[in-house]
Amino acid sequence: MDAKKFYEEFGKEEATQVAIAAGTNLDYFKQIMYGNRLPSHKLTVKLEESSGGRMTRKHLRPDIYGDPSEKAA
């Protein structure tokens, strides 16, 4: 799941807790959620871990971790 779906499903409180556990804050998480920022490799891994795997690096950074065959031509 990506950041936007996570926020929609689990809400502001859970997103805040996950962001803080990953070493960032809700404002930056929202930047990621709206596509204004891309999380670094390190932050991507931390978000995946702090969300208990509910957010995945594949969905947070498909440009790095996604399946190249899924990209539109």
What pLDDT digit, counting tens, does each position of 2-31 carry? 999 999 999 999 999 999 999 999 999 999
Q: Tell me how many domains the chain contains.
A: 1
Give the burial class of 15: count Cβ atoms within 10 A of its Cβ; 0-12 exposed, 13-18 middle, 19 or more buried.
buried
What is the domain extent for residue 58?
3-62
Domain contains 72: no
Domain contains 15: yes
Is the overall model pTM greater than 0.85, yes or no? yes
Q: Which residues contact 2 (CB under 8 A, 6 or more apart)?
A: 33, 55, 59, 60
pLDDT in tens, 33-55: 999 999 999 999 999 999 999 99
Domain contains 73: no
